[in-house]
Amino acid sequence: MILVKKDQLNQITALFEGIEDSMVKACLQGYLGNAYVKSLDKPKAALIVSGEYSFFGGEPSSDEAEYLVQNLFAVNPSESTVGIFSESKPDWEKLLLSIPRNSPVAVSRFGIVQMDYAFDETVLEGYISAVPKEFELSQFNEDIYCQAMREDWSKEFCEIFSSSEDYLTRGIGFAALNNGKLVSGASSQTVYDGGIEIQIATDKNYTGRGLATACAAALIKECSKRKIRPCWDAANLTSKKIALKLGYEYKGEYMTIHMKPPCY
């Protein structure tokens, strides 16, 4: 499999038309993630790996597409990955499900409309001020970054960035702390020109207290201040519910394929 270099990304951009995802934008703009092809000579299919996500673009009926799926975990070191593709090319779903060695399972997600929103700051402030007094909201710093990277539930906040310095230079996040301990947060999972993708998560011992909603509200306020778009995509009903409370619009369900390498 061939790694597509930054100065070659223009050769695969058209293959990902129809995928409205900030991770794809971030990779194609040369910020985060890696792109792969079988051949750079007029590629018919391409793969983008960004953290635990794998994006497939191009023609699913091509030999190149099957090659990328068969060899997915040669370039994706994750214990599992979420395969995403354009809804206009449903044959990707058939292809991904046809490779048993990847243990594929179809799982739906909840799409959020990708557009520039006029968020109601009064609503955002209401969620921020509702945080219980035993918790403190704080913007991510080096200590919070290190805490996030130590725990499985919070790694996605920062794991795509190469280091704490990289995250603090290009990323942004807000955390809920309990006596200095990270217990919930909202962070830029990816960054691209003019926007970020929001990732929210909460330690299972601290759920149901509005912490993720408050952190997300604080992050959205900061994005509005910086004039960048805070993109959202919901992996589950809780995430969808929070997004709608904050002012996002629901687009509808779409299908993804969860996969894992043979050793798992």
**Within this chain, do residues 43 and 133 fall inside the same structural domain, yes or no?**
no
* pLDDT tens track for 149-173: 999 999 999 988 999 999 999 999 9
**Residue 89 included in any domain:** yes
Q: Alpha carbon 92 to chain centroid distance?
A: 20
Give me the number of domains the chain comprises: 2
Does residue 264 register a pLDDT over 60? Answer: no
**Residue 201 included in any domain:** yes
**Within this chain, do residues 105 and 125 fall inside the same structural domain, yes or no?**
no
CATH code assigned at 63: 3.40.630.110
* pLDDT tens track for 191-208: 999 999 999 999 999 999
Residue where a domain stops, chosen among 67, 87, 110? 110
* DSSP structural state of residue 234: B
**Residue 258 included in any domain:** no
- Strands (E) located in 98-234: 105-112, 136-139, 173-178, 181-192, 195-202, 229-231
**Within this chain, do residues 233 and 126 fall inside the same structural domain, yes or no?**
yes
Per-residue pLDDT, averaged over 1-8, amounts to 95
**Residue 115 included in any domain:** no
Residue 78 confidence (pLDDT): 84
* pLDDT tens track for 28-65: 999 989 999 999 999 999 999 998 899 999 999 999 99
Helix axes 211-226, 237-246, angle to 10 degrees: 50
**Within this chain, do residues 76 and 43 fall inside the same structural domain, yes or no?**
yes
**Residue 64 included in any domain:** yes
**Residue 80 included in any domain:** yes
Residue range(s) defining the domain that contains residue 23: 2-110
Rounded to 5 degrees, φ, ψ at 254 are -145, 160
CATH code assigned at 234: 3.40.630.30
pTM for this prediction: 0.87
**Within this chain, do residues 16 and 106 fall inside the same structural domain, yes or no?**
yes
**Within this chain, do residues 52 and 136 fall inside the same structural domain, yes or no?**
no
**Within this chain, do residues 39 and 128 fall inside the same structural domain, yes or no?**
no
